[in-house]
Chains A and B, each alone.
Chain A
Amino acid sequence: QSALTQPPSVSGSPGQSITISCTGTSSDIGGYKYVSWYQQHPGKVPKVIIYDVGHRPSGVSNRFSGSKSGNTASLTISDLQAEDEADYYCSSYTDNTNVIFGGGTKVTVL
């Protein structure tokens, strides 16, 4: 099963909002609520920032929000800040009792 499809890179200026898309199929994103997003800074382990499509773990900034429409999930980062520069990965449960990640998106703060 191929990875979920994410844009390789997204950039924005401080204060702007950016959105990262994550496209799958009805067998994964479209069929389940178990979509999560992870932030990974260079040399660090990933950190969950969104789970179950749009829920934010305690301690995660409310500048991060998630949503889903059909087979595509989206992560929006509002009021972009320098510390948001990182790699972002989406993940979803799939029909065949597996888990799948997206290919990752590098966010650059201009």
Chain B
Amino acid sequence: EVQLLESGGGVIRPGGSLRLSCAASGFKFDNYGLSWVRQVPGKGLEWVAGLNWNGKSQGYGESVQGRFTISRDNAKNSLFLQMTSLRVEDTALYYCARHGDIYYFQYVDVWGKGTTVTVSS
């Protein structure tokens, strides 16, 4: 069964850092682009960051550019999101997402259940 399992969410103060992880199983990990997508409960989807199958091509949403870093470890079937200088407006449910091909700008065909990040003083 194809699965994405996020972890690492929690409550953090503004200005703090947090690292999210996503463990993948059930498919050949390095055949797919991956992204992080977030959603505030009751609000819309926001693409956060993505990278290609080998991690060498990446992109970031404007609101996180320069603060978040996406990376992957193909040997460990894992995706990461290092978040720094966190703001209250980063509070959201963060989804790990697999794209339909090696590029991260392809459609998302598999979603994890998400991990919640709450930034609050």
Contacts and interface: CB of A to CB of B under 8 A. Distances in A.
A39 B106 CA distance: 16
13 contacts: A38-B108, A45-B113, A46-B45, A57-B109, A89-B44, A91-B45, A96-B59, A98-B60, A98-B61, A99-B47, A99-B50, A101-B37, A104-B43
B44 A3 contact: yes
Q: How large is the interface on B (under 10, 10 to 19, 20 to 34, 35 or more residues)?
A: 20 to 34
Interface string A92-108: 01001111111110000
A96 B111 CA distance: 24
B47 A38 contact: no
B44 A103 contact: yes
Contacts of A46: 45, 108, 111
Contacts of B111: 45-46
Interface string B84-121: 00000000000100001000111111011110000000
A51 interface: yes
Contact of A98 (B59, B95, B107, B112): B59
